[in-house]
Amino acid sequence: MRAWEHMRRLWPRFTLAPAAPFWAWTAFWMVRGQVRCDHLAIALLVTALAYATPGTKRLFLGLLPIALVALFYDAMRFVRNVGLSESTVHLCDLRDAELRWFGLNVGGTRVTLHDWLQVHAVPWLDLVSAVPYGTFIWVVLGYSIFLYVRDFPALQKFTWGFFALNVAGFLTYHVYPAAPPWYYHLHGCTVDLAARASPGPNLIRVDEMRESVRIIGQCLEGMPAGPWIADDRR
């Protein structure tokens, strides 16, 4: 009862509304037998921020657009092929436009910058390029916390801008569907909506490097202490 009174003081109107969408989404997946740990984690985190203190309520309001992006992104699976067909997905027409406007002449052949980079791939560039891909959401969250401390109105503008950008991306995916460069290199100009997604050759190489480092670490951990001499210098 005291907990309910506390929640009512924080949210006099629509007391349960802040966390309701996230718990409803979690319950939906529970009924389907497909609930994941991140569903529960987000619902619990949202609840804690929304109802703990006035300060966490303020943080919840600032971060709410990011949580909604996560919700919408997860729901995309139900509409992923809406507006998509073999005739509506842009593939080689976009490649032709890229070749015409931004292409490079290499050995008398017109190639895209992506084509050239794949031929001249180097590990350090793969690693550098993977950093923003793998850390952007943490950068968004970290900068949001910074703005929460320094400038709350700016935080709201930033997170709602992030929300609007992602919604625009979701809509663009359906209004003007376009295949990425890796798809062309794997499948050519044939559109196959059943094709499995690929991280692309660059991220595959990064994953291979990460796996190699992990294996080396396991080997070193399994070696007994003391000096070692190997006959095979490889």
Q: Determine phi and psi for 188, rounding to 5 degrees.
A: 70, -145
Instruction: Determine what percent of the chain falls in helix, strand and coil, rounding each to the nearest 5.
Output: 70, 5, 25
Q: Of 62, 2, 70, whose CA–CA distance to 41 is shortest?
A: 70
Q: What is the pLDDT of residues 29-85, one digit of tens each?
A: 999 999 999 999 999 999 999 999 999 999 999 999 999 999 999 999 898 888 888
How far apart CA 203 and CA 201 sit, in angstroms, is: 6
Q: List, as own/partner pairs, every contact residues 168-173 make where C-beta atoms lie below 8 angstroms and the sequence separation is at least 24, other chains included.
A: 170/72, 170/73, 170/76
Q: Of 60, 64, 39, whose CA–CA distance to 50 is shortest?
A: 60
Q: What is the pLDDT of residues 146-186, one digit of tens each?
A: 999 999 999 999 999 999 999 999 999 899 999 888 888 88
Which residues lie closer than 8 Å to 174 by C-beta, 6 or more apart? 79, 82, 83, 84
- Asked whether the whole model's pTM tops 0.75, one would answer yes
201 — pLDDT class (breaks 50, 70, 90): low
